[in-house]
Every structure is written in C-alpha cells, then in structure tokens.
C-alpha cells in the first residue's frame, strides 16, 4: 500500500475558525483525504499524540501559556514542514492587544487567586518561538488557501505567498472603490489579499483580516483616513485590530495613538 503523507492540525489560543475552514472545504476535503492521512485535528475527533511524526503540521492559534511553548516545541521537533494558519498563529491575533497592557494588573482585577493562573505576559505568533516554513494569513484562513498549499507541497513545490493588496483583487473583480466613491475608511490599500475582496464586494470596508500587504505606507494612508474625517484615535484602532501585532500595523497604531495625544 502506498504511503500517504501524514497531516496534523494543532490548536492553540484561538476560536477554531481556521480548523472549520478546513472542514468547510466540502468536496475538496474528500479529494484531499484520498491523498493524505489526517492524524490529528480536534474539530473532527482525530487525536493522535502530538509527538507523532508528520509530514505537514498546521498550527492554529497563538502562544499564551508556558504549556503552549512546551507543546509547540514538541510539535516542531516532529514535523517535516510547519505551516501557521490564521491571524492568531501568524501575528498573535486579536488577543495580542494584551501585549500593550500590564497583564499582571488585569489578572489581579479579574481573578480572586491570580497566582493560580499560568499565563505569559504576551500573546505571541508561532514564529516568535519556532521556525515556521510557511504562513497562511487570514481571519479565518480561506479553505482555498489550505487546499492549494497542501496540493502544492505534495508536488514538492513551495506554496505561493500572495502579498498584493486587496485593492488589486477589487480591480480584478470590477468593484467600484468605496474609499474613493463613498469616502469609506476601507483598509484595502494596506491589507493583503486572500479573501477575494469579500467585504468591498458587498459595499463594506476592508477590516485588515489578512494582515499587512507588501510595501505598505501606513503613515501616509493613516493621514488619508484622517482626511476622511477620522480622529487619530479612530485611525489607530483601525490598525489595532485582528493583526494588531504585525509590525507594520503595530507601528501605525503607536504612531496615530501618539498623534491623538498631541491633539
């Protein structure tokens, strides 16, 4: 019997939305499971030990506890290829907003016995702790991205990293720019594509779900948003969202939060 490559999908601090994106492949999932052996994925009840040798390990979620670090090191040591999926794994996720606060102080304000809480002071991306072979951005990651990445790797070819802006996807879809025509604070000019320009296609502004695009000028774009009538604090909050810990967005957050302090 021909050996099937072993695939594992591991969960850390997250909402499980990226695992559901895998399940939502539909018919593509049936095709994929003819080519690979899915040995670990909590959402479908497949729970092989985390130290089992696998060909590809997908990681969902950020690192927030000492136990997470131990698990991650074990998974990395037993994976030929490690791929992070989604905003939490690639940049720390929405929970990385805690990185800008005094974690000890807020734990004392929430828990009666904070000494029993084992938590790191930050919510960190997987790449902050171990070598990552490839990243799939998004909140959640798209099913098409995951399917394409696996099929590409099975052919021995590195997956293609799409870093162009959502604006380019809008042009391909024939969308009218809502930033220009409606003065809507759309984040498409600084956000990487991958969603298929989903929100702008329905007249809603982009929310930075897929993280920073390549070569973005966040300072200039933030000034454009201020020109639309947004307060500097509102601009900072636009960047301090799903991928707030991504360097380009965290720098923009600090910049415009500082501008608010000057006003």
- Whether 1 has a pLDDT exceeding 50, the answer reads no
For 222-250, write each residue's pLDDT tens digit: 999 999 999 999 999 999 999 999 999 99
User: Domains in the chain, start-ordered, CATH in brackets?
Assistant: 6-154 (3.40.50.700), 166-262 (no CATH)
Which residues are CB-contacts of 210 (< 8 A; sequence separation ≥ 6)? 137, 138, 139, 166, 191, 192, 193, 194, 195, 243
Distance CA 59, CA 132 (A): 10
In the chain, which ranges are continuous DSSP H helix? Answer: 17-23, 27-33, 66-77, 86-91, 103-110, 143-154, 166-173, 178-181, 198-201, 218-227, 232-239, 247-262
What angle (nearest 5°) sits at the alpha carbon of residue 75, between those of residues 70 and 78? 130
- Cα-Cα-Cα-Cα torsion 110, 111, 115, 116, nearest 10 degrees, comes to -130
Distance CA 71, CA 246 (A): 23
Sheet holding 134-136, edge to edge: 46-47, 37-41, 6-11, 54-60, 79-85, 134-136
Distance, C-alpha 141 to centroid of its chain: 7
CA distances to 131, 181, 231 from 5, in Å: 21, 49, 52
- Whether 182 has a pLDDT exceeding 70, the answer reads yes
* Confidence bin at 251 (pLDDT 50/70/90): very high
105-114, 138-147, 167-176: least confident range:
105-114
More confident residue, 6 or 104: 6
Quick one: what percent of the chain has pLDDT higher than 70? Answer: 97
**φ/ψ (deg, to 5) at 83:** -125, 125
The backbone region for 222, taken as left when phi is positive above 0, alpha when psi lies in -120 to 50, beta otherwise, is alpha
* Confidence bin at 261 (pLDDT 50/70/90): very low
Which of 19, 11, 99 minimizes the C-alpha distance to 62?
11
Q: Provide the whole-model pTM.
A: 0.90
């Amino acid at each position: 019997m021909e050996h099937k490559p072993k695939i594992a999908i591991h969960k850390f601090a997250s909402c499980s939305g990226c695992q559901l994106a895998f399940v939502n492949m539909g018919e593509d999932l049936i095709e994929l499971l003819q080519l690979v052996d899915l040995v670990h994925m909590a959402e479908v009840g497949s729970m092989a030990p985390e130290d089992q040798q696998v060909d590809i390990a997908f990681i969902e979620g950020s690192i927030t506890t000492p136990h997470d670090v131990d698990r991650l090191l074990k998974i990395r040591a037993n994976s030929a290829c490690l791929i992070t999926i989604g905003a939490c794994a690639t940049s720390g996720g929405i929970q990385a907003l805690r990185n800008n606060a005094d974690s000890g102080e807020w734990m004392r304000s929430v828990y009666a016995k904070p000494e029993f809480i084992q938590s790191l002071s930050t919510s960190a991306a997987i790449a902050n702790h171990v070598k990552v072979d490839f990243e799939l951005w998004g909140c959640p990651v798209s099913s098409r991205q995951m399917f394409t990445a696996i099929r590409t790797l099975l052919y021995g070819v590195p997956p293609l990293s799409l870093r162009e802006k959502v604006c380019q996807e809008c042009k391909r879809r024939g969308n009218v720019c809502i930033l220009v025509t409606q003065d809507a604070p759309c984040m498409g000019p600084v956000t990487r594509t991958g969603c298929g320009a989903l929100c702008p296609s329905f007249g809603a502004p982009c929310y930075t779900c897929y993280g920073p695009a390549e070569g973005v000028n966040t300072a200039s774009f933030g000034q454009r948003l201020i020109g639309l009538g947004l307060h500097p604090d509102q601009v900072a909050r636009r960047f301090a969202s799903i991928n707030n810990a991504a360097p380009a967005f965290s720098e923009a957050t600090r910049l415009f939060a500082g501008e608010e302090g000057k006003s």
